[in-house]
Amino acid sequence: MSDTIATVRAVYDAMNTRDFAVFDRLYAPDVTFNGAPSSPEVIRQYCSAYLQAFPDLDLTVEHAISDGTWVAARVVARGTHTADLEGIPATGRSIEVAQHDLVRVTDGRLTDCWTVFDQFAMLQQLGVLPAGQPA
Amino acid sequence: MASGGELAGEEAMRRGAWAEAAAAFREAVETAPTPRALDGLGRASWWLGDVDAAVTHRGHAFDAYRRVDDDAAAARIAFWLSREFRLVVGNPAAANGWFARGDELVEALPDGAAHGWRHLARSDRSMDPAARERHAEEALAVARRWHDGDLEVYALAARGLARVTSGWIDRGITDLDAAVASAIQAAEPETVGDVLCSLMAAVELVGDASRFAQWNDVLEQYMLSQPHVRLTGFCFTCCGEVFVVNGRWKDAEQQFVAAIDMLEQTGHRSRCAHPVTRLAHLRIRQGRLEEAEALLEEFVDLPEAVEPTAALRLAQGQPTGAIRVLERRLAAIGTDTLLAVPLLTLLGDAQLAAGDLVGAAATAELLAAMADRSDLARVRGLQTLLQGRIAARGDEGTALRLLDTALGAFQEAAMPLEVAATHWALARLAADAGDIDTATEEGRVALGRFRELGATRSSDEVAAFLRELGVRVQSGTRAEGLLTHREQEVLDLVIAGMTNTEIAARLFISPKTAGNHVSNVLAKLGVRSRTEAAARVLKQRGT
């Protein structure tokens, strides 16, 4: 039970310490992401994009439970937007956004990941939606 | 010395008497196949719509000019052949070959207008609007140094279109204005054709014919003074797309069908976007997805098929498929051009449908950058509609302000489909906020607009939404009393005197289906014959 949570915590730790060697090892080669086939490489690229946009990105696990296979975690992501994010130029603003993950751990590796984070709150905190008057 | 036949042919060309010119040149060629006679025959054939003959004769003219060591004239023909092979015949290998031959000839020539024609050919061949502008600029400098009026007009038109494509609308239109003014004063008829083509392409990019209204009178005057110059024949596709944007879907459909007919008769490619892809996109807007899919089947590989293909996937509920094709195309053309605007709009819609708010917000930023640069109400509206729909996921006040801005912009740009879509977004926003009165009001406006346009899927969707709010909505879209929209279309064609086979060809359906529609129309109108139907309807309409 607890070692599945430890595995998942290790992923967040690897993110926080930017230790991609560990990060890659923790994902199964045929991992699925939000129901679609993926790979450690693809997930790392996805995470890297956010790490570049928020170089001080920090993930805090507020709560995690496990049924022995599936781990559910409530996470808070904090960071400062100092570089381009998927085409959104740096705003210099800080974010604090909720993220909820549900992952399956098999033989010490993540095989299936479901993740949602509050994209809308992030966009609001970044102030990227204008007030509605033409520039 | 020019022969009598050559002079007679050239005189006929200036009057636009293409058949007469062709006959005179043919006679001259039979007497002596001089480069000038061969070239004249090629040009006359081109105006008569026979591109294959034009390519053959001008190919011979190239050889003949080479034999008399007029390499500048030969090079200009080589560049012309390269363009026709690329755009119309659809043979890129031949197009590259002819460009290389012209290039090689010009390389060996001293300074002169030929170098400008090479710059123009380079501009024409480039995909990147910045490079097109640069090459056109160099062509323009050469034209002015060597006083080549035709080259100057071509170069101005090319630079203007490139600038408009990059979103520098005012500077681009200034160039196009200058090009049209000089083209109408002097120049060969080919030059006028090319400039008008650039002008139409610019109108399509800007999506607002009113920006070019100052030319309507001038062009009409020109067409009236030279009724032989049937230039609009080239412009069906672009013309049609402007009609789509401005909500004149029937006119658009006629233009596309005429263009498709013309291409089928000649077996040629379309000069700009293929009209089948445009017709397919119109069908998607009309909610006729099966027809759109059938139309696109053969044409999926064309770059201009990306937009309707993505729109179709999105309408079929496959946003990730839409995102994939759009991102691939955007990577090829770049996001920094007006050409990208319709693709970005679809991409934003697909990202929203896929739940990718961050991606949609980034797409909106790209649209915002283009709106800032071009200062076009159309682009500003598309940007704020997308942002408003993103904001609607959690910030009602911001969403409302953005959608209001979008509405104003679309009204200014005369874009009725987008006006309807914005009312629809406002209706859903109000419903989410529990404001049933506003939701009903906005929904009714959206429904009316969608129905006027004939956007059946959208109007069905809004009707269902209104019913859920407890509003009584007349079911289905009805015109001429009990007829469906399709039956209404069939009836219009019956009144125009068409047979079932002709109706089938026009509507891209089988003759059997056309026959069924006609039977249903007659039954619903309670008449026994097509003539009786026509008489009844025309009387009712007070014609």
Average pLDDT by consecutive 10-residue portion of chain A (135 residues)?
A: 86 94 92 93 92 95 95 97 91 95 95 94 88 50
Q: What pLDDT, on the 0 to 100 scale, is given for residue B93?
A: 94
Q: What pLDDT, on the 0 to 100 scale, is given for residue B215?
A: 65
Q: Is B371 on the interface with A (CB under 8 A)?
A: yes
Q: Does residue B347 contact residue B326 with C-beta atoms inside 8 Å?
A: yes
Nearest CA to CA, how far is A55 from chain B (Å)?
18
Q: What pLDDT, on the 0 to 100 scale, is given for residue B235?
A: 59
Question: Taking CB atoms and an 8 Å limit, are B363 and A122 in contact across chains?
Answer: no
One-letter amino acid of B396: E
Question: Taking CB atoms and an 8 Å limit, are A123 and B388 in contact across chains?
Answer: no
3-state secondary structure of B81: helix
Interface mutation vs chain B, best among A38, A119, A126, most B CBs within 10 Å:
A119
Q: Is B390 on the interface with A (CB under 8 A)?
A: yes
- Residue B457, CA distances (Å) to B415, B447, B451, B477 in order: 18, 11, 10, 10
Among B487, B494, B492, which residue's Cα sits nearest to residue B520? B487
Q: Each residue of B187-218: pLDDT tens digit? A: 577 887 788 778 878 887 887 666 666 666 66
Q: Is B398 on the interface with A (CB under 8 A)?
A: yes
Q: Each residue of B118-161: pLDDT tens digit? A: 999 999 999 899 999 999 999 999 999 999 999 999 999 999 99
Burial (CB < 10 A; 0-12, 13-18, 19+), residue B151, is buried
Spell out the residues 6+ positions from residue B54 whose beta carbon is closer than 8 angstroms to its own.
B42, B43, B45, B46, B84
Q: How many CA atoms lie within 13 A of A23 on its CB side?
A: 19
Nearest CA to CA, how far is B398 from chain A (Å)?
6
Q: Which residues of A touch B363 (CB under 8 A)?
A: 87
Instruction: Give the whole-angstrom CA distance, residue B475 versus residue B510.
Output: 28
Instruction: Give the whole-angstrom CA distance, residue B329 versus residue A65.
Output: 44
Q: What pLDDT, on the 0 to 100 scale, is given for residue B225?
A: 58
- List average pLDDT for each run of 10 residues in chain B, which is 543 residues long: 84 85 94 94 88 94 96 96 88 95 96 96 93 97 94 95 93 90 74 81 76 63 54 59 80 83 74 85 91 90 92 94 95 91 96 94 95 93 96 92 96 92 97 95 95 90 92 61 76 85 81 86 79 77 56
Nearest CA to CA, how far is B201 from chain A (Å)?
27
Question: Taking CB atoms and an 8 Å limit, are A86 and B390 in contact across chains?
Answer: no
What is chain B's alpha carbon radius of gyration, rounded to the nearest angstrom?
26
Instruction: Give the whole-angstrom CA distance, residue B515 versus residue B317.
Output: 33
Nearest CA to CA, how far is B381 from chain A (Å)?
9
Interface mutation vs chain B, best among A38, A120, A124, A125, most B CBs within 10 Å:
A120
- Residue B267, CA distances (Å) to A37, B18, B497 in order: 44, 22, 28
Give the predicted TM-score (pTM) of the model: 0.78
Instruction: Give the whole-angstrom CA distance, residue B338 versus residue B374.
Output: 9
Of B364, B380, B395, the CB nearest to A134: B380
One-letter amino acid of B179: A
Other CB atoms within a 10 A radius of the CB of residue B468 amount to: 11
Q: Is B173 on the interface with A (CB under 8 A)?
A: no
CA atoms B419, B421, B425, B431: torsion sign? positive
Question: Taking CB atoms and an 8 Å limit, are A119 and B356 in contact across chains?
Answer: yes
Spell out the residues 6+ positions from residue B519 whose beta carbon is closer than 8 angstroms to its own.
none
Among B287, B367, B351, B363, which residue's Cα sits nearest to residue B319? B351
